[in-house]
Structures are given as structure tokens and as C-alpha cells.
Chain A
Amino acid sequence: MALTNETIKDRLIAKFGEQLSHFEEPYGLLTFEAPRELNLKVMQFLFDDEELRFQFLTDLTAVHYPDQAGRELAVVYHLHNLADNIRLRFKVFTGSDKPDIFTATQLYSSANWMERETYDFFGINFVGHPNLKRILNVDEMEYFPLRKEFPLEDQTRIDKDDAMFGRGTLPAAGTIADKN
């Protein structure tokens, strides 16, 4: 019998019970949420199981939700079963004051750089990572750029016209000298 989302969901609930939540299938991709202490156990189970065999970590990234108190940062794992061509996604949520997540580098080597990138942009501390330092940004950067509170634009420019960026006021029509 081919592996389906239903089968995966049943196996997961059989193993972890009520701890996994928010099962949904946007565009056919099985998505669920796990508590952050269990992220390694879930991944290990999906890796070792003879039928499930999710042995490829496609992507590891994070999302910042500034409005959810206590659950601001979500780490999203995309796993892929190469033998049966099934993908799934699961998320773990953590607060932004102490964002500690267990590292997946013991299980997937590709998680090494992906977790460094997630740390670089969101500030998530991966516990047990062998070399957690910035990978894409300048090493001396003190903030985490992709969090919503930090602006996209470079802050050292002094010659920008603020009116063009939605700050300040645009001059009213007709006040600029017409060249006609």
C-alpha cells in the first residue's frame, strides 16, 4: 500500500498522541505542529521508521510572528521521503525571550548551515550546534535582520528622501515650481 498523508498522520498520532496538533494539508503537503522539546524525537522517529523513512531535510527556516505572545518564533522543518516521494512540514514554536531549540545536526548534516542561517536572521539559539555563528551577514552585526522589529533599509544613509518611503510628507501638488 502506498504511503499516504493519512498513514503518516495515523502513525504520528499513535506514537506521540495529543502532543502533535494543527494537522492540515495545504496544497496536499501534510503540516503539523510539535512542542519544541520533541522536535528531535519527532524527526528521529520519522527518520528511523521502516515505513516512513523521512531521511532528507529539505529546508529549515523560521518565521517571526510578533503578535503571538510566547510563541513568536516558529522553526519550520521540511522533510522529504525520497523513496516514496512524500513531503511533510512541521513547525515548533518558541518565545522570543529564550529561543532554544535542539539542533538537528546529529541527524541531518545539512541542518548545520541551515541552522546557522536561521540563527543569523532570527536569533534562534540551537542547543548543541557545533559552530553557531553568523553565516550570511557581517560577523559584527548585533541584531537579527529578519525579525519584524528591524527595518529592511540600511540605516547609515543620510541622503534619502523620506517622503518617498512613506515617512514625512510629500510636497503638495503645485507647490514645486513648474518648469512650464
Chain B
Amino acid sequence: MIFLYIKIFTYMSRPVRFNIHPIQADIKDNISLANMPEGYTGEGFFASRLSDVVGLARKNSIWPMPFATSCCGIEFMAVMASHYDLARFGAERLAFSPRQCDLLMVMGTIAKKMGPIVKQVYLQMAEPRWVLAMGACASSGGIFDTYSVLQGIDQVIPVDVYVPGCPPRPEAVIDGFMRIQDLVSQESVRRRNSEQYKALLGSYGIQ
């Protein structure tokens, strides 16, 4: 029996080729600092623009509503999971009720029959609200150029950020989310009452 065990270890094992020079983690490169908004500081006070402060607060706590229809929804599940964590960006709580969410993420193919439903969900959201179209199908109909698929959700609701891809990589979704964060942080307080915004919503038939 013993000579059998010796036989097993007589071959040359394959040498390890990868991960043999592991990089030491450098804590200095891995910390990102959020920039303070501009303002006047003094002892015990900081004066800044209201829109900056509100934008900073809002952008780091966007509660998305996943409107996941098809394959992009699965990819979104990967984004929310631990590997590409979207909760790092403040999207910890996914709201499934449109009344409680800020960002409508439309993920997947929207059929023409589903269009009025997407619009209804958008109408139920409270201001301020943003829309992210994830994937090719939500942006423009994708490969489904047929009689039954809505060729882009911007035919029924105004969209802020489009994330192309079929499906987009989770990194691309996170990038789209960060663009939304840029939009949120720089939005002026008076935007939602401006004529241009009202005209935009009017073009969609939304009061």
C-alpha cells in the first residue's frame, strides 16, 4: 500500500504561473474623498449654497426603483449583489413602491402594451425623480425592432441617463448611476418649476 502513495507524488506538479507577486494593498490610493462644496467657513459655521448641500445629500442617498423586465434585470441583480455593490453609492434600499423612490431604473424590453404602465409608474413618483434607461432595449428597442416592442422608453417618459449594452456590464451600470449622481448634485432648486422643464413634461403629456 505504501508504494502506491509514493507513486502519486513522483510526477512533477505544474508550476504556479499567476498571482505569484501579489500587490500589497496601498491604503493611500484606495480612499476616495468627497469634495466639500464651496462656501464660507468660520469657527463653528459653514455657509454654502442650498442647492449644493441638498444635492450632496440627495446624491448619496438615491433610492432606486428597479423596473426590471428581462435580462437587464438579472444583470441588475448582479449589480446589487456583493461583488459590484450598488449599496456603496447610497442605493441600499430598493423601493418597490414608486411613491418612495427617487430613481426609476427601467431595465429590460418594454413592450408597447407595457408603455402606459411605465408611464403610470413614472407619474406615481414624487418629485424630484430621475430615470435611468438600462440596456439597449430600454434605450431604443434594442435588437427587437418589431411591432410589439416600444422602441425606447423615451417615447413615453423623459429619460435622464441611458446605459447602452446588451446587457451592460455592471461597471457600466455603476457608471450610469454615477452620472445620475452628478445630475442630482448639480441640479438647481428651481429646475422643476422652470418653463423648460414644464415644456419637456408637456411634450410627454405629463402635467
Contacts and interface: CB of A to CB of B under 8 A. Distances in A.
A141 B113 CA distance: 10
Interface string A136-167: 11100100010000111111110010000000
Contact of A138 (B113, B141, B145): B113
Contacts of B145: 152-154, 157, 160
Contact of A156 (B113, B148, B151): B151
B112 interface: yes
B147 interface: yes
Contact of B141 (A150, A151, A154): A154
B146 interface: yes
Q: Interface SS of chain B: helix, strand, loop or mixed?
A: loop
Nearest to A134: B113
Nearest to B155: A156
Interface residues of A, number: 14
Of the candidates B112, B141, B147, B148, the one having the most CB atoms from chain A within 10 angstroms of its own CB is B147
Interface in B126-160: 141, 145-149, 151
B147 A152 contact: yes
Contacts of A137: 112-113, 147-148
A154 B149 CA distance: 8
A157 B113 CA distance: 17
B114 to A, nearest CB: 10
A152 B146 contact: yes
| B: interface residue count bin | under 10
B164 to A, nearest CB: 15
Contact of A157 (B112, B148, B151): B151
A145 B147 contact: yes
Nearest to B114: A138
B151 A145 contact: no
A117 to B, nearest CB: 13
A112 to B, nearest CB: 19
Nearest to B146: A152
Contacts of B149: 154
A145 B148 CA distance: 9
B151 A138 contact: no
Contacts of A153: 145-147
A84 to B, nearest CB: 39
Contacts of A160: 145
Contacts of A154: 141, 145-147, 149, 151
Given A145-B148, A152-B145, A155-B147, 10 more contacts: A136-B148, A137-B148, A138-B112, A145-B147, A151-B147, A153-B147, A154-B149, A156-B151, A157-B151, A160-B145
